[in-house]
């Protein structure tokens, strides 16, 4: 069966791996990206960008200062903007995303938040009077914007943000002000240096009454000189763990006046005479965050895929140690521990990307509903995207770190690309709402679902399984080798655990309430259990999505995807074994059975491991990793990469000349 990556001159071990492929890698790639045409388009973009001198990096960014990296990234951004249509259909979201990844990379660029949040916020929340003026100019990039919500003192708890927007009826303006140091906007991407406008989240005050957080469009810099406008203090917050090429910024506003129409008023409104009309759903103003949380799944699935590609290919190329005496050193991918470290990450990357596809469909349906005046799909989508954002970012972070360690010493080098990848990816646990907080949003929803299920009321999409009758005892290991039934038995077991944990958390909460605590204090006493239930529920949702995609996949790739799904489900069940055992739903014998099946899966997947990661179809540019390169010629590339270090420009460093040599000389003369 063809693995389409084989080329002459490649590392022979990688070629050997590709020859054991049992499926058509292009079929799987096309399935992952929606169609064969989408796959071809991605490849065309990659090919053109790779050959274009505007996007060449003579010195890898690993060896440049932050300022130089920002300059190089800004230059490439300009080229993408001016020449984008030479490479792709600039109106196609996924083509643009791929172009940006290929041309610029993942560490941030001047327009990341402009496209990622500023425009979506205006499009989703502003009304015509404002959008007619600002959106054409924003699309034309006369206006570049940030999404300035988080403050130095508050991010998670939006209700306590301190920046104020006070309505002045006399002039029909809002006065926007930063009343304290902790009220300074702090963190927003591209706010520091690149943007001349921002959507700023403020507490709305009318006639002295605090109404709550709302968004306003504020001009920050002169459109001609790019200097900050009077009354505006703006700058970069300094170096951080990663996202080096993003100017996350600070902002203080000194009683800045903006016209009434600058409030984003598609949902909530303030009339000229100061009458406030609430939105048809109280949280529609938070819509941009739901949008980003949904789209983060795709990005984080791809981040984990990158790490899995690097670790798998490198493990096929690297030989070290022997499994038996008297035979040559083995590829490290032959070690069971290595497979157990890496293969679940491959499966999880597929699971995340497949789950994203389901969420995207739900998101589109919700947006259609809102346009028709219906918000009934929003609570379910908010609850599940809050859980998914938290589980997926955490899962991807752990997975990337496993892949990094699986590459030994070279994984610790920036040459592997993995330290930077981890730094960028792990930010997702924090931004768009810290994970522990967002899981509580899911848990609240589960508590309502428990109540509805007990009362026999209808249950919405993500919690529909709460209405199923549990069989009381798991069928795991009792399906006589029927793989479809085995998968169903594992899904049922996970659903049982999520449901049980939710019911128990609800009972614990109630009990504390009966003991005299307020509902809120009682909640804080059970949040660890609440979040546990939310995590298991979210992992059930992912497992169901993965299962649905596999069972409906084309026959040519279904066998390999079924193997991957088996590994995924066995791994998830073993990882959550304590939840399955706690109430006796599963026995110890059944967990031992799951483990033995998992180890069989590792062996089954071994011949297809490289081909499964090849099917993610990430180019060498996207991987940005000496260890993960498609041709597997790792060692020579590693040496050439290290030669580019600034420290190697001279044989004797000035610092050595200035301090170390005189010290050695002094010591020598003392003898």
- Shortest Å distance, C-beta 143 to ligand FAD: 17
- Shortest Å distance, C-beta 146 to ligand FAD: 6
The residues, any chain, with a CB within 8 Å of residue 189's CB and separated by 6 or more, are: 108, 112, 113, 116, 117, 146, 147, 243, 246, 247, 248, 249
Subset of residues 232 to 251 that bind ligand FAD, contact rule: CB under 6 A: 243, 248
Query: Is residue 182 a contact residue for ligand FAD (CB under 6 A)?
Result: no
Contacts with ligand FAD: how many residues (CB under 6 A)?
21
In whole angstroms, give the CA distance from residue 523 to residue 439: 13
Stretch that binds ligand FAD, among 62-70, 342-350, 434-442, 541-549 (CB under 6 A): 434-442
* Residue pair 310/401 in contact by the 8 Å Cβ criterion: no
456 burial level (CB within 10 Å; 0-12, 13-18, 19+):
exposed
* Angle CA 130–157–509, to nearest 5: 135
In whole angstroms, give the CA distance from residue 378 to residue 601: 38
Stretch that binds ligand LZZOIA2V, among 142-150, 334-342, 556-564, 565-573 (CB under 6 A): 142-150
- Shortest Å distance, C-beta 264 to ligand FAD: 15
The residue among 200 and 204 lying less far from ligand FAD, judged by its C-beta, is 200
Contacts with ligand LZZOIA2V: how many residues (CB under 6 A)?
31
Query: Is residue 427 a contact residue for ligand FAD (CB under 6 A)?
Result: yes
In whole angstroms, give the CA distance from residue 507 to residue 505: 5
Query: Is residue 431 a contact residue for ligand FAD (CB under 6 A)?
Result: yes
Subset of residues 434 to 453 that bind ligand LZZOIA2V, contact rule: CB under 6 A: 437, 441, 444
Query: Is residue 187 a contact residue for ligand FAD (CB under 6 A)?
Result: yes
3-class SS at 247?
Answer: coil
* Residue pair 310/418 in contact by the 8 Å Cβ criterion: yes
Query: Is residue 50 a contact residue for ligand FAD (CB under 6 A)?
Result: no
In whole angstroms, give the CA distance from residue 333 to residue 317: 9
In whole angstroms, give the CA distance from residue 355 to residue 371: 25
Query: Is residue 625 a contact residue for ligand FAD (CB under 6 A)?
Result: no
Query: Is residue 433 a contact residue for ligand FAD (CB under 6 A)?
Result: yes
Contact pick of 70, 74, 80, 113 for ligand FAD (by CB under 6 A):
113
* Residue pair 607/20 in contact by the 8 Å Cβ criterion: yes
Stretch that binds ligand FAD, among 423-431, 451-459, 586-594, 640-648 (CB under 6 A): 423-431
Beta strands 197-206 and 145-148, pairing class: parallel
Residues 651-668 as b/e (b if ≥16 CB within 10 A, e otherwise) read eeeeeeeeeeeeeeeeee
Beta strand ranges found along 190-327 (DSSP E): 197-206, 209-219, 232-236, 249-253, 256-259, 269-270, 276-277
Query: Is residue 379 a contact residue for ligand LZZOIA2V (CB under 6 A)?
Result: yes
- Tell me, what DSSP letter sits at residue 260? G
- Shortest Å distance, C-beta 574 to ligand LZZOIA2V: 32
Query: Is residue 467 a contact residue for ligand FAD (CB under 6 A)?
Result: no
The residues, any chain, with a CB within 8 Å of residue 140's CB and separated by 6 or more, are: none
Cα 601 to Cα 80, 90, 275, 562, 629: the distances in Å are 44, 42, 63, 11, 26
Contact pick of 46, 150, 195, 215 for ligand FAD (by CB under 6 A):
150
Subset of residues 114 to 133 that bind ligand LZZOIA2V, contact rule: CB under 6 A: 115-116
Cα 533 to Cα 104, 226, 380, 436, 574: the distances in Å are 39, 49, 16, 12, 17
Stretch that binds ligand FAD, among 31-39, 183-191, 348-356, 447-455 (CB under 6 A): 183-191
* Residue pair 268/412 in contact by the 8 Å Cβ criterion: no
Give the residue numbers marked as catalytic: 432
277 annotated to a ligand binding site:
no
Residue 436 interacting entry, from ligand FAD, ligand LZZOIA2V, none, C-beta within 5 to 8 Å by type: ligand FAD
Query: Is residue 286 a contact residue for ligand FAD (CB under 6 A)?
Result: no
150 annotated to a ligand binding site:
yes
Binding residues for ligand LZZOIA2V (CB under 6 A): 96-97, 100, 112, 115-116, 147, 149-150, 155-159, 189, 283, 286, 289-290, 292, 295-296, 378-379, 382, 431-433, 437, 441, 444
List the binding residues for FAD. 150, 189
List the binding residues. 150, 189
Binding residues for ligand FAD (CB under 6 A): 113, 147-150, 154-156, 187-189, 243, 248, 427, 430-434, 436-437
């Amino acid at each position: 069966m063809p693995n389409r990556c084989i080329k002459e001159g490649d590392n022979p071990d990688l070629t050997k791996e590709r020859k054991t492929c049992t499926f058509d890698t292009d079929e799987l790639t096309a399935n992952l990206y929606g169609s064969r045409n989408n796959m071809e388009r991605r490849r065309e973009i990659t090919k053109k960008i790779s050959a274009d001198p505007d996007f060449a990096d003579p010195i890898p960014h690993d060896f440049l200062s932050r300022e130089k990296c920002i300059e190089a990234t800004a230059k490439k951004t300009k080229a993408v903007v001016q020449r984008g249509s030479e490479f792709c259909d600039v109106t196609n979201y996924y083509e643009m995303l791929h172009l940006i990844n290929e041309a610029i990379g993942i560490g941030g660029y001047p327009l990341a938040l402009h496209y990622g949040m500023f425009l979506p916020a205006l499009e989703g929340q502003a009304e015509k009077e404002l959008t007619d003026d600002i959106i054409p100019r924003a699309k034309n990039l006369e206006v570049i914007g940030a999404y300035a919500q988080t403050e130095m003192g508050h991010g998670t708890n939006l209700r306590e943000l301190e920046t104020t927007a006070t309505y002045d009826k006399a002039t029909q303006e809002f006065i926007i002000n930063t009343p304290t140091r902790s009220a300074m906007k702090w963190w927003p991407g591209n706010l520091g240096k690149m943007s001349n406008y921002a959507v700023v989240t403020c507490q709305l005050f009318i006639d002295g009454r605090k109404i709550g957080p709302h968004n306003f469009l504020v001009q920050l810099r002169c459109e001609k000189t790019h200097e900050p406008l009077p009354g505006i203090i703006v700058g970069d917050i300094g170096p951080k763990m990663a996202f080096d090429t993003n100017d996350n910024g600070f902002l203080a506003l000194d009683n800045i006046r903006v016209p009434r129409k600058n409030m984003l008023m598609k949902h909530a409104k303030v009339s000229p005479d100061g009458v406030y009309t609430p939105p048809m759903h109280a949280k529609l103003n938070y819509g941009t965050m739901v949008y980003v949380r949904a789209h983060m799944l795709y990005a984080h699935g791809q981040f984990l895929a990158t790490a899995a590609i690097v670790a798998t290919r490198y493990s096929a190329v690297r030989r070290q140690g022997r499994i038996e005496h008297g035979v040559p050193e083995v590829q490290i991918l032959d070690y069971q521990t290595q497979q157990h470290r890496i293969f679940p990450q491959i499966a999880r990357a597929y699971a995340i990307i497949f789950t994203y596809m389901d969420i995207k469909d739900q998101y589109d349906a919700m947006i259609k509903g809102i346009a028709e005046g219906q918000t009934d799909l929003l609570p379910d989508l908010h609850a599940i995207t809050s859980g998914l954002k938290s589980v997926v970012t955490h899962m991807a972070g752990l997975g990337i770190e496993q892949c990094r360690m699986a590459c030994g010493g070279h994984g610790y080098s920036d040459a592997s690309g993995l330290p930077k990848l981890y730094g960028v990816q792990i930010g997702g646990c924090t931004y768009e709402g810290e994970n522990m907080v967002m899981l509580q949003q899911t848990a609240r929803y589960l508590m309502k679902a428990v109540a509805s299920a007990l009362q026999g009321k209808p249950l919405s999409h993500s919690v529909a399984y709460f209405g199923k009758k549990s069989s009381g005892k798991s069928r795991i290991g009792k399906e006589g080798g029927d793989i479809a039934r085995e998968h169903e038995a594992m899904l049922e077991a996970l659903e049982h655990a999520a449901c049980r944990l939710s019911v128990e958390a609800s009972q614990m909460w109630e009990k504390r309430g009966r003991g005299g605590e307020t509902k809120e204090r009682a909640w804080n006493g059970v949040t660890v259990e609440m979040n546990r239930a939310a995590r298991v529920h979210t992992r059930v949702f992912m497992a169901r999505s993965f299962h649905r995609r596999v069972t409906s996949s084309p026959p040519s790739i279904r066998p390999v995807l079924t193997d991957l799904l088996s590994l995924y489900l066995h791994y998830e069940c073993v990882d959550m074994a304590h939840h399955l055992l706690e109430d006796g739903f599963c026995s110890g014998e059944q967990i031992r059975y799951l483990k033995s099946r998992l180890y069989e899966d590792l062996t089954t997947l071994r011949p297809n491991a490289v081909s499964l990661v090849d099917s993610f179809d990430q180019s060498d540019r996207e991987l940005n990793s000496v260890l993960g390169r498609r041709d597997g010629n790792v060692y020579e590339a590693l040496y050439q990469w290290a030669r580019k270090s600034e420290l190697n420009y001279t044989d004797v460093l000035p610092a050595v000349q200035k301090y170390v040599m005189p010290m050695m000389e002094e010591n020598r003369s003392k003898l």
